[in-house]
């Protein structure tokens, strides 16, 4: 009787032992979601690589003193730090100082027009921020710039080298205030003698990016 009971007990426990030793399959996902993908249009942000600006200031023309200068600039930013820029400037130069010494002065008229254009390359050497008060900060960039161009003055057209330093302060992501200091170097025939002249320019203006 005991043997018979032990036999039946072993038969009943055998499936449980096999089940415990056999690895259970991973649970399968009961619900298969049917998600329909929709096409998403990414927003298009303006690159603002191009710039267009107006400027005004003063230029100290060698031998003729300081006078008001104004003009326009157009540029393209190749990278965050490197850009190229074309500029055009115009001023009226007076020979009043020479008229006090030489009868009739040097010019046919008391004032002569000087115009220049150049193509330059610039590099941002110190990007950062300008703080206005305690709670307002504006992005800025200090840059060096230099290039070549041409100056038209006294019926002479002279190749011109320009080098300088500038500061750009962003008022918005599409507008900036710029201050530039540049030296325009060109040769001038004056009183029968040809010499290189240093013409220092300090200007400020607004630049717009698009």
pTM value is: 0.76
Residue 19 belongs to some domain of the structure: no
Length of the chain in terms of residues written:
210
What range defines the domain where residue 125 resides? 50-209
2 φ/ψ angles, rounded to the nearest 5 degrees: -65, -35
Report residue 66's pLDDT band, with 50, 70 and 90 as the boundaries.
very high
Radius of gyration of the chain (CA): 38
Lowest mean pLDDT among 59-73, 98-112, 126-140: 98-112
Domain count, the chain: 1
Cα atoms in the 13 Å half-sphere on the side-chain side of 30: 0
Q: What is the pLDDT of residue 107?
A: 81
Report residue 28's pLDDT band, with 50, 70 and 90 as the boundaries.
low
Res 84 pLDDT > 80: yes
Q: What is the pLDDT of residue 14?
A: 52
Count other Cβ atoms within 10 Å, centred on residue 96: 13
Residue 174 belongs to some domain of the structure: yes
CATH number of 111's domain: 2.40.160.20
Residue 67 belongs to some domain of the structure: yes
**Rounded average pLDDT over 24-51:** 73
Q: What is the pLDDT of residue 196?
A: 93
């Amino acid at each position: 009787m005991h043997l018979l009971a032990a036999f039946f007990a072993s038969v009943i426990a055998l499936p449980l032992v096999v089940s415990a030793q056999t690895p259970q399959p991973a649970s399968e996902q009961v619900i298969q979601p049917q998600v329909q993908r929709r096409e998403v249009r990414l927003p298009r942000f303006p690159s603002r690589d191009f710039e267009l600006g107006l400027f005004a200031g003063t230029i100290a023309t060698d031998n003729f003193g300081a006078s008001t200068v104004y003009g326009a600039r157009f540029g393209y930013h190749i990278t965050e730090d490197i850009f190229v820029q074309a500029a055009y400037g115009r001023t009226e130069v007076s020979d009043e100082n020479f008229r006090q010494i030489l009868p009739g002065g040097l010019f046919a008229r008391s004032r002569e027009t000087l115009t220049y254009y150049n193509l330059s390359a610039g590099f941002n050497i110190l990007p950062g921020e300008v703080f206005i008060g305690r709670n307002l900060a504006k992005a800025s960039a200090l840059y060096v710039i230099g290039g070549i161009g041409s100056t038209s003055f006294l019926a002479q057209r002279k190749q011109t080298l320009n080098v300088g330093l500038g500061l750009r302060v962003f008022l918005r992501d599409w507008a900036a205030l710029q201050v530039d200091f540049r030296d325009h170097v060109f040769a001038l025939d004056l009183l029968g003698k040809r010499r290189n002249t240093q013409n220092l320019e300090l200007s400020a203006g607004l630049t717009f990016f698009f």
